[in-house]
Amino acid sequence: MTDWESVVREHGGMVTKAAFRVLGDASESEDAAQDAFLDALQFSAGRAVGNWSALLRTLAIRRALDRLRRRRIWQEPDGLIAPGCAGPERVAIARERTAMLRQALAELPSREAEVFAMRFFGEQSNQDIGEALGMSAGAVAVALHKAREKLQALVKE
């Protein structure tokens, strides 16, 4: 039997952070994290989980992508501009680019969006992504390449 208090205590911060990197909104990230833990509970009911961190990160990113796709109004919350940005113009440009990336990510096919988000927002290796999604590392690299190309086309400057 799984000790859920320990799982949540150990992985809760990482799960919320992974969702936040995709969504950029603390409240939505917490909701996505809760959804990920519910998914994990259902998943673990019938089988043993070997790597809670990978499972929960994958589920958090999936739930965050689902929420991103459901957004109707694309807003950029405060606090997402990297330290060191100077001047209001640079801040505005950075916010606009971040919003455009999130919108473009929501338009990608599910597999490519998952791979991209897991790699760049979840900071997972191609090997870890492949194991989580049942793909080879080479297939992950191909999906990542396709995602980058499509994102570049969608986010034209």
DSSP line for 5-46: HHHHHHHHHHHHHHHHHHH--HHHHHHHHHHHHHHHHHHHHS
Count of structural domains, the chain = 1
Q: Is residue 94 predicted with pLDDT exceeding 80?
A: no
Which tens digit of pLDDT belongs to each residue from 15-48?
A: 999 999 888 889 999 999 999 999 999 988 878 8
Of residues 104 and 46, more confidence is placed in: 104
pTM of the model: 0.65
Contact partners, residue 14, CB within 8 Å, separation at least 6:
53, 56, 57
Domain of residue 145, residue span:
4-154
What pLDDT, on a 0 to 100 scale, did the predictor assign at position 86?
A: 56
Q: Is residue 10 predicted with pLDDT exceeding 90?
A: yes
Which tens digit of pLDDT belongs to each residue from 107-137?
A: 889 899 989 988 888 888 899 898 888 999 9
Domain of 129, CATH number, reads 1.20.140
What pLDDT, on a 0 to 100 scale, did the predictor assign at position 76?
A: 43
